[in-house]
Chains A and B, each alone.
Chain A
């Protein structure tokens, strides 16, 4: 039975990981496409218009596969974790429900935006649709993050009674929806998702700039690079700032996760910040300790006498896997690196300096890949950091949440293999559609703006 439960966990993690790749791109394309179309109309620049049209087709593909993938997740949630979903259904189904309407906003606006492009004589009316598409994608992210926040800091029901009797009572759906960590998580996750997608798109534009054979193609990709870089910088900047707030929230509301992330085994005042390091035989090794830095970041004081949470405060059976310290370091280190590069790009764009050198273009490609790794690392830190609980402090993942039917195994393996084919196909097909015809022909086809 344990192996089936572990398989459930792996399958859920795998499909979520695959879905995340599609979602980051969907959100980023919707925002960047909107900015690009606006610039095209405002500046009467056909090159922006061509890129917006291309991105709309890619978005339709990502949406089609993302919808399917999202439906898979919805079905997996209640088929692999039925008992968990019963609790969600009783206490915190409201964000899922509102997410459906965000989904409608996105899908209907997208259909109008893509398939009836030339119907709108007033170009700003058409552009307004892109705002609804972007709002739909971003709101979906907001509502899903609310559910995750509730899993981290459950609220909105009588917790003591649930713990003692297993009965759900005193349900307040709005309190559950706006759980204590909801605002902070939304402030961090949504811009981080946009940043990851923007840099992935930036990488794509950079590759195509490098491959471009005509001046006009290079011009289109350079304009797109600038837009993606600026959107990416704003998003990564906000994610960085709210990331700091997230750590403060963990300090107050999830101290065990905080201690595991920082690899604080014992109480030290002031606490050092450990960079890198792994745990061997219960002892952290191979790390660089910066004395007092953790306390300084947390309490903004060189002379703080406050303690930070540490692992031995809690029973060892409740500790999450400690490798999340490394995934956290990857997230912070990688994010900071990409943030600095984005800042450099922004300064050069503002100062009207060239960013078409190979150093910059290859760095964009590396940043795009790195930020997806950073994003996934952040997700792993958050989810694994909550283990062994599926609902923090109240519902153990293994004991009470999984579907243990053996039927899961063969079909689950099939779905995993299937995903391995579908996700690369989506990226390949979108890339092909984006370059379906030559830029020159597309510019001819675009009417007067």
Chain B
């Protein structure tokens, strides 16, 4: 397997983006199924973090633009309808959560709960769109590179595509109770996560885009270790720590990403053949180092403030953040 530093960086950014968007998808599950508990356990994390998710999304998109500019016309023409719908839902998502944060009185039956639930549903849909595009790029089903079109019906009718999306959603659903420390039996969390991973893993193998099955299995094991560690009372506090948990998720996503590289479209496309000019790659590498250092410092400051603030909140006995 060829090794490319810029692709490695892209994979790391993908892992970080996946970890942060996953926290929102898990929050969406919690809000829909356990709203009252979410008020105490989810919002204090979600409310500051959701604005940063969008930034990570842009980060990943621009990095892909810089890495493989030749792929843009293919993506733009093939997915134009889905991209434009995605845009509308994305704005609605931001509108609903910012309104939920600052709503001051309920009017026209619009309450804070309605707005947060709307946000949760829209976040699910956004997650679905991201997974559809990602999965279709891996499997190539429904995607006609030469005609630059994407046929959703053809994509959906291929079982492994559906299985990968459904399996991923189930696994995240299982993990959400651990991440947000919801009152759910830890065996149930483990069982749901295992079911999700089996479905997603089997589908991933059937999609046949991987270049290294061992790395892919390692990705599954890293994910599985989260609910397993959660079963051990003495270790539970470590894995439910937000930063550790996100580190595990980022590592799992990165490994999954790298198990596929350099293939796309069920091994019909070699990503290396599409990479940008080497002078640009060098500059992007330096820019990532400079920006990444800044981002790391900012993230450390953020989590330090967040952790200390959470401790104060717990000590003060606050039971909800709204």
Q: Which A residues lie at the B interface, using CB under 8 A?
A: 57, 60-61, 63-65, 67-72, 74-76, 78-80, 82-83, 85-91, 93-94, 96-101, 103-105, 107-112, 115-116, 119, 168, 171-174, 403, 405, 407-408, 411-412, 414-415, 418, 422, 425, 429, 432-433, 436
Which residue of B63, B97, B280 has the most chain A CB atoms within 10 A of its CB atom? Answer: B280
Checking A64, A65, A79, A412 against B76 with a beta-carbon cut-off of 8 angstroms, the contacting residue is A79
Q: How far is the CB of A120 from chain B (nearest CB, A)?
A: 8
Please name the 7 residue pairs, one residue from A and one from B, whose CB atoms are nearest each other, closest first. A89-B69, A101-B291, A411-B84, A82-B73, A82-B76, A64-B98, A173-B283
Given A171-B279, A172-B279, residue A100 in contact with residue B91 (CB < 8 A): no
Verify if B142 is at the interface (C-beta below 8 Å from A).
Answer: no
Given contacts A79-B80, A86-B70, A171-B279, 12 further A-B contacts (CB under 8 A): A60-B101, A64-B97, A68-B95, A74-B62, A75-B61, A78-B61, A89-B72, A171-B277, A407-B84, A408-B84, A414-B84, A418-B91
> A65 touching B91 by the CB < 8 A rule?
yes
Sample (7) of A-B pairs whose CB atoms are under 8 Å apart? A68-B91, A70-B58, A89-B66, A93-B284, A107-B51, A111-B48, A414-B84
> B298 touching A71 by the CB < 8 A rule?
no
Checking A89, A109, A432 against B65 with a beta-carbon cut-off of 8 angstroms, the contacting residue is A89
> A115 touching B48 by the CB < 8 A rule?
yes
B90: chain A residues within 8 A (beta carbon): 68, 71-72
Given A173-B280, A415-B87, residue A100 in contact with residue B62 (CB < 8 A): yes
Checking B49, B61, B95 against A65 with a beta-carbon cut-off of 8 angstroms, the contacting residue is B95
Given A79-B80, A79-B84, A407-B81, residue A104 in contact with residue B62 (CB < 8 A): no
B residues 161-214 with Cβ under 8 Å of A? none
Type the 1/0 row for B38-76, where 1 means its CB is closer than 8 Å to any CB of A: 000000000111011011011101110110111011011
Verify if B276 is at the interface (C-beta below 8 Å from A).
Answer: yes
Q: Give bound CA distance, A168 to B305, whole Å.
A: 47
Verify if B144 is at the interface (C-beta below 8 Å from A).
Answer: no
Given A85-B72, A101-B295, residue A67 in contact with residue B81 (CB < 8 A): no
> A100 touching B284 by the CB < 8 A rule?
no
Q: Give bound CA distance, A227 to B63, whole Å.
A: 39
> B305 touching A67 by the CB < 8 A rule?
no
A99: chain B residues within 8 A (beta carbon): 62
A61: chain B residues within 8 A (beta carbon): 98, 102
> B65 touching A85 by the CB < 8 A rule?
yes
Verify if B309 is at the interface (C-beta below 8 Å from A).
Answer: yes
> B57 touching A71 by the CB < 8 A rule?
yes
Q: Give bound CA distance, A90 to B69, whole Å.
A: 6
Checking A93, A108, A110 against B280 with a beta-carbon cut-off of 8 angstroms, the contacting residue is A93
> B94 touching A408 by the CB < 8 A rule?
no
Checking A97, A411, A418 against B63 with a beta-carbon cut-off of 8 angstroms, the contacting residue is A97
> B302 touching A67 by the CB < 8 A rule?
no
> B87 touching A71 by the CB < 8 A rule?
yes
Q: Give bound CA distance, A100 to B102, whole Å.
A: 27
Nearest neighbor of B87 in chain A, beta-carbon distance: A72
Main secondary structure of the interface of B (DSSP, over half): helix
Q: Give bound CA distance, A415 to B88, whole Å.
A: 7
A411: chain B residues within 8 A (beta carbon): 80-81, 84-85
> B298 touching A103 by the CB < 8 A rule?
no
Q: Give bound CA distance, A68 to B305, whole Å.
A: 26
Type the 1/0 row for B89-105, where 1 means its CB is closer than 8 Å to any CB of A: 01101110111011010
Verify if B77 is at the interface (C-beta below 8 Å from A).
Answer: yes
Q: How far is the CB of B111 from chain A (nearest CB, A)?
A: 16
> B287 touching A415 by the CB < 8 A rule?
no
Given A111-B51, A115-B48, residue A104 in contact with residue B66 (CB < 8 A): no
B35: chain A residues within 8 A (beta carbon): none
Verify if B83 is at the interface (C-beta below 8 Å from A).
Answer: yes
Q: Give bound CA distance, A76 to B86, whole Å.
A: 11
Verify if B308 is at the interface (C-beta below 8 Å from A).
Answer: yes
Verify if B301 is at the interface (C-beta below 8 Å from A).
Answer: yes
Q: How far is the CB of A197 from chain B (nearest CB, A)?
A: 19
Q: How far is the CB of A325 from chain B (nearest CB, A)?
A: 35
Given A78-B72, A403-B77, A411-B81, residue A64 in contact with residue B66 (CB < 8 A): no
> A93 touching B76 by the CB < 8 A rule?
no
Verify if B299 is at the interface (C-beta below 8 Å from A).
Answer: yes
Verify if B243 is at the interface (C-beta below 8 Å from A).
Answer: no
> A94 touching B287 by the CB < 8 A rule?
yes
> B305 touching A119 by the CB < 8 A rule?
yes
Nearest neighbor of B277 in chain A, beta-carbon distance: A171
A98: chain B residues within 8 A (beta carbon): 287, 291
Verify if B152 is at the interface (C-beta below 8 Å from A).
Answer: no
> B51 touching A78 by the CB < 8 A rule?
no
Nearest neighbor of B99 in chain A, beta-carbon distance: A429
Verify if B294 is at the interface (C-beta below 8 Å from A).
Answer: yes
B70: chain A residues within 8 A (beta carbon): 86, 89
> B104 touching A100 by the CB < 8 A rule?
no
Q: How far is the CB of B143 from chain A (nearest CB, A)?
A: 15
> B62 touching A93 by the CB < 8 A rule?
yes
> A90 touching B294 by the CB < 8 A rule?
no
Q: How far is the CB of A350 from chain B (nearest CB, A)?
A: 37
> A86 touching B69 by the CB < 8 A rule?
yes
Checking B54, B76, B291 against A68 with a beta-carbon cut-off of 8 angstroms, the contacting residue is B54
A105: chain B residues within 8 A (beta carbon): 294, 298
Q: Give bound CA distance, A100 to B49, whole Å.
A: 17
> A67 touching B94 by the CB < 8 A rule?
yes
B290: chain A residues within 8 A (beta carbon): 101
> B283 touching A94 by the CB < 8 A rule?
yes
> A414 touching B280 by the CB < 8 A rule?
no
Nearest neighbor of B61 in chain A, beta-carbon distance: A74
Given A93-B62, A94-B284, A104-B294, residue A86 in contact with residue B91 (CB < 8 A): no
